[in-house]
């Protein structure tokens, strides 16, 4: 099943906290077929000392799949990501990613210091602020800024299952790996 948000609108995928689970990536990847790009909000390969091993934990295989990805792939550095991860992934791991997409300003960070990130997003007038870290999916609007956390692709916390987000010209959706919509919002 492919999740096509707001049919006929260009979109990109947002995910976070794969923590080396090649199984989570493999299951989720077909769900954003047709996307323009993928933005990963950090904690890509390593599971971290406080987390259990995710199912199908195989960071080397996940890195290989990410290297083969045909879509533009942007990676934010998470608190579990290290310099060696950037070497293996052959991509920079940035503390912040900011870009202009379809007339909207987007800011992304991992989110371990959410207070500072929130202040940055509001100060710059971001339309969309993306973060991970908590492993809990959420979508909250503050003024004209949407704050979206896609949850975790491999180690969700709280009541929700594994999830990711799709961002389109019409709005945003947080979805489970079964395609169920957990939360959605429009730009207006």
Give 175's strand partners. 164, 181
pLDDT digits (tens, 9 = 90+) for 73-114: 999 999 999 999 999 999 999 999 999 999 999 999 999 999
DSSP state of 30: G
Contact 18, 154 (CB under 8 A): yes
> What does pTM read for this prediction?
0.93
- Give the integer Cα–Cα distance in Å for 27 and 73: 17
DSSP state of 166: E
Give yes or no for residue 25 having a pLDDT over 70: yes
State the architecture of 11-186 in CATH terms.
4-Layer Sandwich (3.60)
99 by DSSP, 3-state: which? strand
pLDDT for res 55: 80
Q: For residues 58, 50, 182 and 118, what is the CA-based torsion angle, rounded to 10 degrees?
A: -120
Q: In the predicted model, what is the mean pLDDT of the chain?
A: 93
pLDDT digits (tens, 9 = 90+) for 31-59: 999 999 999 999 999 987 777 777 888 99
Mean per-residue pLDDT, 61-67: 96
Return the percent helix, strand and coil in the chain, to nearest 5: 20, 30, 50
- Give the integer Cα–Cα distance in Å for 85 and 62: 11
Both tokens of 114, joined, read 């959410």
pLDDT for res 4: 54
36 by DSSP, 3-state: which? coil
pLDDT for res 170: 93
- Give the integer Cα–Cα distance in Å for 150 and 182: 10
Please choose, from the candidates 84, 83, 86, 134, the residue with its C-alpha nearest in 3D space to the C-alpha of residue 113. Answer: 134
pLDDT digits (tens, 9 = 90+) for 170-188: 999 999 999 999 999 999 8
Look-up of token digits 């948000």: 5
Both tokens of 131, joined, read 């973060």
Give yes or no for residue 5 having a pLDDT over 90: no
């Amino acid at each position: 099943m492919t999740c096509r948000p707001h049919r006929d609108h260009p979109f990109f995928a947002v995910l976070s906290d794969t923590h080396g689970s090649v199984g989570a990536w493999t299951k989720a990847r077909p769900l954003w077929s047709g996307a323009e790009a993928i933005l990963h909000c950090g904690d890509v390969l390593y599971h971290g000392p406080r987390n259990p091993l995710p199912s199908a934990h195989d960071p080397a295989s996940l890195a290989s799949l990410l290297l083969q990805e045909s879509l533009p792939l942007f990676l934010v550095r998470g608190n579990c990501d290290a310099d060696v991860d950037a070497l293996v992934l052959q991509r920079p791991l940035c503390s912040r990613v900011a870009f202009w997409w379809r007339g909207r300003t987007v800011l992304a960070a991992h989110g371990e210091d959410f207070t500072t990130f929130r202040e940055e997003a509001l100060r710059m007038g971001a339309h969309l602020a993306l973060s991970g870290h908590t492993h809990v999916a959420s979508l909250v609007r503050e003024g004209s800024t949407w704050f979206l956390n896609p949850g975790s692709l491999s180690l969700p916390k709280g009541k929700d299952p594994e999830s990711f987000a799709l961002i389109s010209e019409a709005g945003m959706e947080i979805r489970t790996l079964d395609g169920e919509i957990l939360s959605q919002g429009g730009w207006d």
